[in-house]
Amino acid sequence: HLHNFVCKWGLTLKSKTVINYSLMSRYLYAIDVVSWFGAIVLAGAARYDFKISPATLGHLAIFALLAIAVHTLVAVAFKLYRHRSKVATFEELQTLLWSSVVTGVALTLLLLAFGNMWQVPRATALVATPLFVFFAGASRSVIRRSQTPGKINTDKKGAIIYGAGAIANALVPQLTN
């Protein structure tokens, strides 16, 4: 019955694929994992003026693993890794932003409840969330830039769309992609 839960394309639940494990999805997920880890450690280290003990670093690393788990659940719910849009387009970055906000709020609430027990500064999630958005968004922009050639295609010919009105506003962006 294990095959009902895991297939070669990814994790499934009741015969529906939850995570699309294409190569780009795996790559983007790995970037997001590193981004969350780096953002949380950087935010926690900044709280201690970058004079961080190994014990505190361990607590931050464990909290980073919790943040990655929360991000994974939220990203699956938002279908962040399902390639609904191209890498680093406005739509993907908007999905990334909203999933990050939900993750950041959940992490902040967890730190407000258990931060003292976990020995993690309560503001860590508030500072780490914008850092994550910057790291992940910048990484996606670099990927997008590396995928699109920098040359201008001179074989294209210009066209004038006359009298189309509102339809031209919808048509022109589709033609220029």
- On whether the pTM is more than 0.75, the answer is no
Distance, CA of 95 to CA of 79 (rounded, Å)? 8
pLDDT of residue 169: 74
Distance, CA of 32 to CA of 54 (rounded, Å)? 24
Q: What does R_g of the chain's alpha carbons equal in angstroms?
A: 21
pLDDT digits (tens, 9 = 90+) for 116-162: 898 999 899 999 999 999 999 999 988 888 776 655 555 666 666 66
Q: Check whether 17 has a pLDDT greater than 60.
A: no
Query: Are β-strands 6-7 and 16-17 bridged in parallel, bridged antiparallel, or unpaired?
Result: unpaired
Q: Confidence class of residue 1 from pLDDT cuts 50, 70 and 90?
A: very low
Find tokens 């910048």 and name the residue: 138
Other beta carbons within 10 angstroms of residue 172's beta carbon come to 12
Count, in order, helices (H) and strands (E) of the chain.
6, 3
Chain-centroid distance, C-alpha 175: 28
Find tokens 């935010």 and name the residue: 43
**Span 18-38, mean pLDDT?**
81
Angle CA(19)–CA(27)–CA(10) in degrees, nearest 5?
Answer: 25
Of 5-14, 64-73, 129-138, the range with the lowest mean pLDDT is 5-14
Both tokens of 70, joined, read 């929360």
